[in-house]
Amino acid sequence: MRLYELKSRIILEWDRWVQTQLIDPRGPTARDTLRFFVELQDRRSPLLDFRTGGRDRWQVIHEWLQAQGRVSEVASHARPPVRRGRAASPPRAARHKKRS
């Protein structure tokens, strides 16, 4: 699928998703786009299978929605998504601690 087709599908999915959510009357925010993104991640949506050139996928999607006038808040106000599926590694000192 071409990037412009994917972008259109994500915007359509956003429009459907937003109708099912309780959104602030002032309009959707970056936090809402983050929730949308995490739900796509949880569903393992094929809509997230695109190259980003090293950029964060959520920020790319947020920028697309912002450019289309779907969201007005700046992306920097929301926390970036937490990567799932990776166990947190122990602190460096704990990894190298010798047993006595």
- Output the tens digit of pLDDT for each of the chain's 100 residues: 898 999 999 999 999 999 999 988 889 999 999 999 999 999 999 999 999 999 999 999 999 999 999 997 654 444 555 555 555 555 555 555 555 5
**Rg, the chain, Cα only:** 17
Whether residue 93 is contained in a domain is answered as: no
Q: How far apart are CA 55 and CA 61, in angstroms?
A: 11
Q: How many CB atoms lie within 10 A of CB 34?
A: 19
Owning domain of residue 35: 3-77
Whether residue 36 is contained in a domain is answered as: yes
CA distances (Å), 81 to each of 70, 93, 95, in order?
A: 20, 27, 27
Decide: pTM greater than 0.75: no
Whether residue 61 is contained in a domain is answered as: yes
Whether residue 65 is contained in a domain is answered as: yes
As for how many domains the chain has, the answer is 1
Whether residue 48 is contained in a domain is answered as: yes
Whether residue 51 is contained in a domain is answered as: yes
- What's the confidence (pLDDT) of residue 99? 56
